[in-house]
Chains A and B, each alone.
Chain A
Amino acid sequence: DAEITQSPRHKITETGRQVTLACHQTWNHNNMFWYRQDLGHGLRLIHYSYGVHDTNKGEVSDGYSVSRSNTEDLPLTLESAASSQTSVYFCASSVGLQETQYFGPGTRLLVL
């Protein structure tokens, strides 16, 4: 069955370190998204991609970057982790624009 996976599921890191969160989908979806979820804020869009080599900034992109070298993967990099980036991160994909999004299980990140 097609799925979307994220790794690691839990990560503890220190302030200033570079961290990369992986997202892999086997749906063959062109559209992929990264969100963060914090209490009181709901889900906020970080970056998104409509296809290979396409990346776009979302609402809260500062301090984050993504790259899309193939259809299946959209890794999210925190260039220099900050305590404010402690959050739960979700990756999602969709087959069409403005269509149903399929979410991964999430990565819980703690920045000390």
Chain B
Amino acid sequence: SQQGEEDPQALSIQEGENATMNCSYKTSINNLQWYRQNSGRGLVHLILIRSNEREKHSGRLRVTLDTSKKSSSLLITASRAADTASYFCATFASGGSYIPTFGRGTSLIVHP
């Protein structure tokens, strides 16, 4: 079963708008990572947030983590057509497992 599940599955917005996608998970984690995948390409790491952190920023990206709700959100501000991609969260469970579990992803389309 999937540890991380992204929501929504698909998101369509206009350039300049903000895009928010969410990731929910089931078990305690050490960290959660967000990745982007452009069509036909490999995944690219965006942000890593650890379990003792609540928010991280990187350029136009803002990631929050709520361990009590077992959820994370990725906010892309002032989106651009180049942000069109699929976005995945990956969770690393606490308790000795060192392998990641990826969600099914959110497909984001930004219309120019």
Q: Contacts A48-B99, A98-B92 hold; do A41 and B44 have CB atoms under 8 A apart?
A: no
- Tell me the dominant secondary structure on chain B's binding face: strand
Considering residues A33, A101, A102, which has the most beta carbons from chain B within 10 angstroms of its beta carbon? A101
Q: Which residue of chain A has the shortest Cβ distance to B86 in the bound complex?
A: A42
Stretch from A12-20, A62-70, A77-85, A103-111 contacting the other chain = A103-111
Minimum distance in angstroms from B24 CB to a CB of chain A = 14
Flag if A42 contacts B44 (CB, 8 Å): no
Flag if A42 contacts B2 (CB, 8 Å): yes
Chain A 82-98 interface 0/1 with B at a Cβ cutoff of 8 Å (1 = within): 00000000101000011
Flag if A105 contacts B99 (CB, 8 Å): no
Minimum distance in angstroms from B35 CB to a CB of chain A = 8
For the complex, what is the distance from the CA of A99 to the CA of B45, rounded to whole Å? 10
Interface residues of B in 53-85 (CB under 8 A from A): none
Flag if B104 contacts A41 (CB, 8 Å): yes
| Cross-chain contact of B45 among A41, A100, A106 (Cβ < 8 A) | A100
- Complex interface: chain A residues within 8 A of B48 (CB): 99-100
Contact residues on B (Cβ < 8 Å of other chain), bracket: 20 to 34
Considering residues A40, A90, A103, which has the most beta carbons from chain B within 10 angstroms of its beta carbon? A103
Flag if A58 contacts B99 (CB, 8 Å): yes
Flag if A98 contacts B30 (CB, 8 Å): yes
Contact residues on A (Cβ < 8 Å of other chain), bracket: 20 to 34
For the complex, what is the distance from the CA of A103 to the CA of B43, rounded to whole Å? 6
Flag if B99 contacts A90 (CB, 8 Å): no
For the complex, what is the distance from the CA of A105 to the CA of B30, rounded to whole Å? 27
- Complex interface: chain A residues within 8 A of B101 (CB): 45
Flag if B105 contacts A101 (CB, 8 Å): no
| A-B interface, 3 closest residue pairs, ranked by CB to CB distance from nearest | A103-B42, A42-B104, A98-B92
**What 9 new A-B contacts, CB under 8 Å, besides A48-B99, A98-B100, A101-B35?**
A42-B88, A44-B102, A45-B101, A90-B42, A92-B42, A101-B43, A101-B90, A101-B100, A106-B42
Q: List 23 A-B contacts (CB under 8 A).
A: A35-B102, A42-B102, A42-B105, A43-B88, A45-B100, A48-B99, A50-B98, A58-B99, A92-B43, A98-B30, A98-B92, A98-B100, A100-B45, A100-B48, A101-B33, A101-B43, A101-B100, A103-B42, A103-B43, A104-B42, A105-B41, A106-B40, A106-B41
